[in-house]
Amino acid sequence: MKTTTMLDQLSDLLNSDKRKRKSKRKHLRALLKDLKKRQKQLEEKLAHTDDREKRHKLKREIEIIIEQRRKGIRLYKELRNN
- At 21 the pLDDT is 86
- Which tens digits make up the pLDDT trace of 9-50? 777 777 777 788 888 999 999 999 999 999 999 999 999 999
Long-range contacts of 33-42 (CB under 8 A, 24+ apart): 35/65, 35/68, 35/69, 35/72, 36/69, 38/65, 39/65, 39/66, 39/69
Rounded to whole angstroms, the Cα distance separating 70 from 62 reads: 12
User: For residue 56, is pLDDT > 90?
Assistant: yes
Q: What's the rounded mean pLDDT across residues 51-77?
A: 96
- At 35 the pLDDT is 96
- At 18 the pLDDT is 78
Buried b (16+ CB within 10 A) or exposed e, 28-64: beeebeebeeebeebeeebeeeeeeeeeeebeeebee
Every domain of the chain and the residues it spans: 19-81
